[in-house]
Amino acid sequence: MSGSLGNKEVMAKNIEKYMKRFGLDRYQLAEITGSSYFTVTAWLKARTYPRIDKIEIMARYFNISKAELVEENNTAEENSPLIEKTVSTMKQLNQPRQEKVFNFTTEQLNEQVEESKVSVLDDYRLSDEYLLEQISKASAYGGGELNDNDKEFFKRLLRNTLKDKIEKGEI
Tell whether 146 and 66 lie within a shared domain: no
pLDDT tens, position by position, 107-122: 888 887 777 666 555 6
- Report whether pLDDT(5) > 50: no
pLDDT tens, position by position, 120-165: 556 666 677 777 777 777 766 666 777 778 778 877 887 777 777 7
Tell whether 134 and 107 lie within a shared domain: no
Sign of CA dihedral 113, 119, 124, 127: negative
Tell whether 51 and 97 lie within a shared domain: yes
| Burial grade of 54 (CB within 10 A; 0-12, 13-18, 19 or more) | buried
Residue 82 forms part of a structural domain: yes
What does the pLDDT average to over 18-33?
A: 90
Query: From CA 61, how far away is CA 30, in angstroms rounded?
Result: 12
Tell whether 75 and 156 lie within a shared domain: no
- Report whether pLDDT(37) > 50: yes
Tell whether 156 and 79 lie within a shared domain: no
